[in-house]
């Protein structure tokens, strides 16, 4: 696996950590935005110079690039900025056929700048848009001609993006919670509450729970994933596509990787409830904290809460007043309450309760620790037995071959079931049916069969 700086130049982040990081960041975004009307990430160098010249004309302060100081000449500053970004690996020059010199961004710089833009604009993802793309890909029958390239790759990327955006929302709510402090005044708490409600509560969170409810398509998406896993023809085309795209020569390894990807997608959709539950909890916690803090700060009436709040405010003002009054204030406060050491740690205490450790007597280690020849043979036989009972593709194939001995096909109802393990083996028979290396295939029906209080689709196992 590549390291980040095997792709990026060593000085790539130098502009964003320098004294003039603000100017560098502004100019990088100006250059990037100048490419929008172009057909590529390249534009005439003179256009870029003019653009940056306009930026530096508003600032007469001197600025230093590569140990060269530039005072008031905006054009010199613009040229120096381009040269500095070029030396740090953000952009390069490209000469056209008509000898025009273009400024071109390196391909690895583009996602970095796009991320900078998203951070500044604080863009929120359209969750329904992401999940509807996943659903549309799985429902489009025309895409199943190349299932790996046109479906599985995109579905996995979008699912990972969906999970990432939900985690981002989770962290965003926590960041707003951390901004709530005891030092905030009532007006600051209310302003912060409305800022949160505008950017999170009625924007990302509300959309996620109403119009962009991500659970709307979940059941049909999982159903389609199962259909891909069970369809031998689709899996065969997916394996061929995987081997071509990922340059994989082992078809069995390609098959296993595709199965793993599809199971990962299912797992991520099942985990959505856990992430949404945590988001719900943090959102409710923020709303509760904001209301209680504002209510306490605004409590100035004649009720007990208002009186206590007023007393504490007056005491705080007195204690933060002139130093000459400190002794008198301390004496008056000492008559109101007493401070004393606690002789035990309460379960509500923030301090971690120490765990008492006892030094027990260690048993002597037996001198005869080597395994005998008979014990080693028994151990090896136990390992062989364990491998023979694993639900691997090879073991499942051998089991089905033994069932089909002397027969061309059998129904799943004919498979003996004496335990839950036998039921699990039937599931693996269905999953591995799409592998071309197996000696069997399955033919599915619309009927269902019930065995040992479990219900599953009825299918026939046919010898190849």
**Looking at the 3D structure of the chain, how many domains does it have?**
3
CB within 8 A of 18, min separation 6: which ones? 24
Tell me if 458 is assigned to some domain.
Answer: yes
Task: Assess whether 98 and 178 both reside in one domain.
Answer: no
Which of 119, 146, 161 terminates a domain? The answer is 119
* CATH, residue 52: 1.10.10
Rounded CA gap, 343 and 326, in Å? 29
Write the pLDDT tens digit of every residue in 332-353.
665 665 555 556 556 666 666 6
Task: Assess whether 131 and 73 both reside in one domain.
Answer: no
Which of 253, 271, 298 terminates a domain? The answer is 298
Spell 414-429 as b/e; 16+ CB within 10 A means b. Answer: ebeeeeeeebebbebb
Helices (H) and strands (E) in the chain, counts: 18, 8
Write the pLDDT tens digit of every residue in 190-223.
665 556 555 555 455 555 555 556 667 788 888 8
Kindly give the residue spans of alpha helices, DSSP state H, lying in 197-303.
206-209, 218-230, 232-245, 251-298
3-state secondary structure at position 341: coil
Spell 276-286 as b/e; 16+ CB within 10 A means b. Answer: beebeebbeeb
Mean pLDDT over 310-315 rounds to 69
Task: Assess whether 91 and 141 both reside in one domain.
Answer: no
Instruction: Enumerate the β-bridge partners of residue 94.
Output: 102
Rounded CA gap, 175 and 195, in Å? 13
Task: Assess whether 217 and 113 both reside in one domain.
Answer: no
Rounded CA gap, 101 and 97, in Å? 10
Instruction: Enumerate the β-bridge partners of residue 101.
Output: 95
Which of 298, 313, 344 terminates a domain? The answer is 298
Residue appearing with tokens 């995109």: 154
450, two tokens: 């019930």
pLDDT value at residue 381: 79
Rounded CA gap, 396 and 422, in Å? 11
Tell me if 307 is assigned to some domain.
Answer: no
158 phi and psi angles, rounded to 5 deg: -70, -35
pLDDT at 448 over 80: yes
Write the pLDDT tens digit of every residue in 114-145.
888 877 765 555 566 777 788 888 888 889 99
pLDDT at 169 over 80: no
Mean pLDDT of the chain: 77
Task: Assess whether 283 and 171 both reside in one domain.
Answer: yes
3-state secondary structure at position 43: strand
pLDDT value at residue 390: 77
432 φ/ψ sector (left φ>0, alpha ψ -120 to 50, else beta): alpha
Task: Assess whether 158 and 281 both reside in one domain.
Answer: yes
pLDDT value at residue 368: 60
- In this structure, of 55-59, 102-106, 184-188, 371-375, the range with the lowest mean pLDDT score is 184-188
Q: Which of 400, 391, 389 is nearest to 440 (CA)?
A: 400
pLDDT value at residue 171: 73
């Amino acid at each position: 696996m590549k390291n980040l700086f095997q792709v990026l130049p060593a000085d790539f982040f130098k502009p964003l950590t320098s004294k003039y990081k603000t100017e560098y960041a502004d100019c990088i975004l100006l250059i990037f935005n100048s490419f929008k009307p172009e057909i590529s990430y390249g534009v005439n160098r003179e256009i870029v110079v003019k653009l940056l010249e306009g930026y530096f004309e508003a600032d007469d302060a001197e600025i230093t690039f590569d140990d060269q100081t530039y005072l008031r000449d905006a054009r010199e500053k613009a040229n120096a900025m381009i040269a500095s970004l070029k030396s740090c690996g953000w952009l390069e020059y490209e000469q056209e056929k008509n000898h025009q010199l273009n400024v071109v961004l390196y391909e690895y710089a583009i996602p970095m700048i796009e991320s900078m833009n998203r951070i500044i604009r604080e863009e929120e993802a359209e969750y329904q848009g992401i999940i509807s793309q996943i659903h549309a890909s799985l429902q489009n029958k025309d895409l199943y001609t190349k299932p790996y390239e046109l479906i599985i790759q995109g579905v996995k990327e979008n699912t990972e993006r969906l999970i990432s955006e939900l985690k981002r929302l989770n962290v965003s709510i926590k960041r707003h919670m951390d901004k709530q402090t005891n030092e905030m005044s009532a007006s600051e708490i209310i302003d912060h509450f409305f800022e949160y409600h505008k950017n999170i509560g009625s924007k990302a969170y509300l959309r996620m729970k109403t119009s962009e409810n991500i659970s709307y398509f979940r059941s049909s998406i999982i159903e389609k994933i199962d259909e891909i896993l069970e369809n031998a023809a689709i899996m065969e085309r997916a394996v061929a596509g995987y081997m071509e795209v990922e340059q994989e020569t082992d078809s069995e390894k390609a098959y296993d990787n595709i199965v793993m990807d599809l199971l990962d997608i299912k797992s991520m959709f099942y985990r959505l409830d856990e992430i949404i539950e945590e988001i719900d909890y943090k959102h409710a916690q923020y709303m509760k904290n904001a209301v209680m803090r504002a209510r306490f700060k605004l409590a100035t009436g004649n009720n007990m809460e208002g009186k206590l709040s007023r007393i504490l405010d007056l005491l705080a003002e007195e204690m933060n007043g002139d130093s000459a009054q400190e002794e008198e204030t301390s004496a008056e406060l000492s008559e109101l309450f007493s401070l004393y050491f606690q002789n035990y740690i309460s379960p509500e205490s923030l301090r971690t309760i120490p765990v008492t450790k006892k030094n027990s007597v260690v048993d002597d280690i037996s001198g005869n620790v080597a395994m005998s020849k008979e014990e080693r043979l028994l151990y090896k036989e136990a390992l062989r037995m364990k491998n023979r009972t694993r639900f691997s593709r090879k073991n499942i194939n051998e089991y089905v071959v033994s069932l089909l001995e002397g027969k061309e096909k059998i129904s799943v109802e004919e498979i003996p079931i004496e335990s839950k393990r036998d039921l699990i083996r039937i599931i693996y028979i269905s999953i591995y049916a799409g592998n071309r290396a197996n000696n069997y295939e399955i033919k599915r029906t619309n009927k269902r069969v019930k065995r040992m209080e479990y219900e599953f689709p009825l299918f026939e196992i046919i010898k190849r």
